Amino acid sequence: MAQHIVVDPVTRIEGHLRVEATVDEGGKVSDAVSSGTAWRGLELVMKDRDPRDAWAYIQRICGVCTTAHALASLRAVEDALGITIPKNANYIRNIMAATLTVQDHIVHFYHLHALDWVSPVEALAADPVATANLQNTVLNTYKLPFRAPDVSSTEAYDHAFPAATPQYFAEIQGKVKAIVESGQLGIFSANWWDHPDYKLLPPEVHLMAVAHYLEMLDKQRELVTPHVIFGGKNPHPHYVVGGMPCSISLNDGNAPVNTARLDIVDRAINLGRTLVNNYYIPDLLAIGTAYVKAGRVDGGGMAKKCVLAYGSYPIEPFSGTSNGDFFKNLLIRCNGVVENFGQGVANAKFTEINGDDVTDSSVLTESVEHSWYSYQKSDSDELHPWDGETKPNYTGPKTGTGTEWQELNEQGKYSWLKTPKWHGKLAEVGPLARYIIIYTKAQKGLLGEPTWAEKMMLDQIDAVSKVLNLAPEVWLPTMVGRTAARGLDCQLNAEINKFFFDKLIANIKAGDTKVANSEKWDPSTWPKTAKGVGLYEAPRGGLSHWIVIKNGKTDNYQCVVPTTWNACPRDDKAGHGAYEMAMMETQVKDPSKPLEIVKVIRSFDPCMACATHMFNAKGEQIGVLTTDPYSGTHVEMADKADKADK
């Protein structure tokens, strides 16, 4: 008999996520539900704010991918106001972005995802001598040699290297043993440690990975020091519309940026390169290979059908996004959609995304059939974000009460996420999407002369295909492929970080220290009405922010974020979203311990607070209609006039 399982809360993610799945007797998931269970209403908060402050407010959407929303917001505001930032600001913002991506991917792999693959309990059975040998083998076998060409190397040798001595592993094992024996398991409490998946890896891999979990927990903080230098703190560093606040002076000890401070940035960039090369990539490939050898090439879902990205890293400053200039000088030209990748590159279709597409009201839309909102005309309408409506319409669960859920109603509304679409279709976004798009473009001869970064991506894919002995079309659109693409993206971003650091140094050396363009700082220089779009390939995928400015104030603010694409509820016409499809392509061995489900979900790196913060597009009155049969029905109207008076 089919069983209905609920996992709520899904932990080791950002925010509040619930999944439900119907598992039939053979362990096949016949239906799956992904629900964002919190709504904060941040775009509503944006109404009437100073657009120059938007980055600070909207950055608070998420503290894990901290800075992602600030960067997209700055681009949206600068697009609206026609501001081109100085070269140094472009390089520094790219360093901020690459720094985030490197640190965020490492934290995801080791601290959010690893405990689905490795277990401290299994590590107790490891032989420390064999583990030391394994460490050497893993480094020899799985280290990928890629480096950006022609970038500086200020590191005499790799200062961060995994220890490979039996004594070290015995020490770590002793620590784990003491924790287990103390009866206070702390963060290791109550997991499904007896799940058969943990037996896919030998005990020595578990011990090695647990050791690296601890080392990376200590090291990850050092990776974000560029945020502390350029933005004053992390999480949530500071920015300014028009560039960066961190003025540069080689004449002042008090200067936000001088040689000593740049050296701190350089050190962090060097560390990122060595950590990803000596720890992350080898660990990832060792574990991934074991899974692939065990036949685990499932969990792809949407990646085979449709992936989307906006393109990343403007090499030099650009004059705007809605005018298309953003797309003209990208380091990674993954701006587009690949459909049907699962059927091989020959059958796959690539469609470009450019400036016209982001402003065309029929290309990018959202609908709310299964979201706790209602549209004026019909919930299945596909509204462009500019024309979007948000009227919360909480209908409660299928069984249980409005405040005590049992099962959500997959037939009706069940999530605070909307359903974003590209030409009426759902898509997956993220590092995997970026790699699939670049690979497909290259294979189809659509890339032209690849940039160094695109070439590195193609070389990485080629190398992993050799390690796994599988074609890219086979291993990429899987759970392992999604996890591997994130690791490759981390390695790529570590090099991109150095690339832009070198450009920054060269530009300062040439005598340019400008970091902020203040020409349009004064609102009196702004048009009465302006619209802007900001695109940014965040660690979790394509992110877009839209702003409408009227009379110097934010009239409308909205974001379509990566996790909304991936975790969205189903659409009656377009089908299931990426989370639900991936779950439905996953075999569950024991429905009482659905480790496979949370593992495939975490392969997306969920960021729920990002996804569930809806908005009132036009700033009209918001009606909250509660139709909870247990608490009665009532309507509350938040009076916007109130706020205007304040």
Partner 1 sequence: MDKRESMWDVYLRKGMSRRSFLKGCAALTAMMGLSSDKVAKVAEAAEKKPLPVVVWIHGHECTGCDESFIRSAAPLASDVVLNEVALEYDHLLSAASGAPFEAHLDEVIQKYKGQYILAVEGAACTKDNGVYCMSGGHTFTHLLQKAAAGAAAIIAYGTCAVSGGIQAASPNPTGSSGIAHFTGSKPVVNVPGCPPIPEVMTGVVMHVALFGTVPPLDSEGRPRQFYGNRIHDTCYRRPFFDAGMFAENFDDEGSKAGWCLYKLGCRGPETYNSCGNMRWFQGMSYPIQSGAPCIGCSNAHFWDEGPMSRRLPQFSPAVDVDTIGAGLAAVTAVGVVGHAAASVVQKKKRIAAEQAEKGSGEE
Residues 469-498 touching partner 1, rule: CB under 8 A, are: none
Among 98, 224, 438, 457, binds partner 1 (CB under 8 A): 224
Contact call for residue 168 and partner 1 (CB under 8 A):
no
**Residue keyed to tokens 């009209």:** 620
* Residues in binding contact with partner 1, number by CB under 8 A: 119
DSSP annotation of 257 reads: B
Candidate residues 22, 24, 28, 40; the one interacting with partner 1 per rule CB under 8 A: 40
Nearest residue (CB) to partner 1, 145 versus 186: 186
Among 26, 145, 183, 295, binds partner 1 (CB under 8 A): 183
Partnered with residue 367 across adjacent β-strands are: 419
Which of 2, 4, 38, 141 forms a contact with partner 1 (CB under 8 A)?
Answer: 38
CB closer to partner 1 out of 143 and 159: 159
**At closest approach, how far in Å is the CB of 80 from partner 1?**
17
> Which of residues 2, 3, 4, 11 is near partner 1 by CB under 8 A?
11
Binder to partner 1 among 153, 184, 524, 633 (CB under 8 A)? 184
Report if residue 271 touches partner 1, rule: CB under 8 A: no
- Per CB under 8 A, does 53 bind partner 1? yes
Q: List C-alpha distances in Å: 303 to 307, 340, 435, 446, 585.
A: 6, 8, 11, 20, 11
Give the angle 312-306-435 at the CA atoms, nearest 5°: 40
Min. distance of Cβ 347 from partner 1 in angstroms?
A: 37
Contact window for partner 1 (CB under 8 A) among 13-21, 159-167, 467-475, 581-589:
13-21
Binding window for partner 1 (CB under 8 A); candidates: 155-163, 223-231, 299-307, 436-444: 223-231
For partner 1, which is the closer residue by CB, 327 or 536?
Answer: 536
**Quick one: which of 543, 433, 517, 430 has its CA closest to 69?**
543
- Which residues are CB-neighbours of 216 under 8 A, at least 6 positions away? 106, 107, 110, 111, 275, 279
- Classify the phi-psi angles of 445: left when phi > 0, otherwise alpha if psi is within -120 to 50, otherwise beta: left
Using CB under 8 A as the binding rule, whether residue 62 contacts partner 1 is answered as yes
3-state secondary structure of 550: strand
| 50 scored as a contact of partner 1 (CB under 8 A) | yes
Cα gap 496→494, rounded to integer Å: 6
User: Which residue, 59 or 365, has its beta carbon nearer to partner 1?
Assistant: 59
User: Strand, helix or coil at 171?
Assistant: helix
Contact between 29 and partner 1 per CB under 8 A:
no
- Shortest distance, position 241 Cβ to partner 1, whole Å: 9
Binding residues among 229-258 for partner 1 as defined by CB under 8 A: 229-240, 242-249, 251-257
* Minimal distance, residue 232 CB to partner 1, in Å: 3
CA–CA distance, 416 with 250 (Å, rounded to integer): 50
Report if residue 96 touches partner 1, rule: CB under 8 A: no
Residue 552: alpha-carbon gap to chain centroid? 32
For the record, the structure tokens of 483 come out as: 């996890």
By CB under 8 A, what part of segment 383-402 binds partner 1? 394, 396, 400, 402
For 451, half-sphere exposure in the C-beta direction (CA atoms, 13 angstrom radius) is 18
Tokens of 527: 């048009």
Shortest approach of partner 1 to residue 51 CB, angstroms? Answer: 10
Instruction: Using the minimum distance from each CB to partner 1, give the nearer residue, 175 or 328.
Output: 175
Min separation Cβ 252 and partner 1, Å = 5
- What are the angstrom distances between the C-alpha of 231 and each of 2, 43, 211, 220? 52, 24, 32, 18
| Of the candidate residues 131, 225, 270, 451, the single one contacting partner 1 (CB under 8 A) | 225
State in angstroms the smallest separation of the CB of 381 from partner 1: 23
Instruction: By CB under 8 A, name the one of 14, 204, 410, 495 that touches partner 1.
Output: 14
Footprint of partner 1 on 99-128 (CB under 8 A): 107, 111-112, 115
- Note if the bond before 385 is cis, omega within 30 degrees: no
Query: Cα 599 to chain center, whole Å?
Result: 16
Q: Site for partner 1 (CB under 8 A): which residue of 2, 4, 8, 620?
A: 8
CB of 411 to partner 1, least distance (A): 19
For 610, residues 6+ apart whose C-beta sits below 8 A from its C-beta are 14, 15, 61, 62, 65, 68, 69, 540, 559, 561, 562, 563, 564
Which two three-digit tokens encode residue 70? 């600030």
The answer to whether 547 touches 77, Cβ cutoff 8 Å, is: yes
181 burial type by CB count under 10 A (0-12 exposed, 13-18 middle, 19+ buried): exposed
When asked if residue 208 is in the footprint of partner 1 (CB under 8 A), the reply is no
Q: Which is nearer to partner 1, 208 or 244 (CB)?
A: 244
Residue 100, token pair as written in the block: 């985030």
Contacting partner 1 within 514-543 (CB under 8 A): 514-516, 518, 521
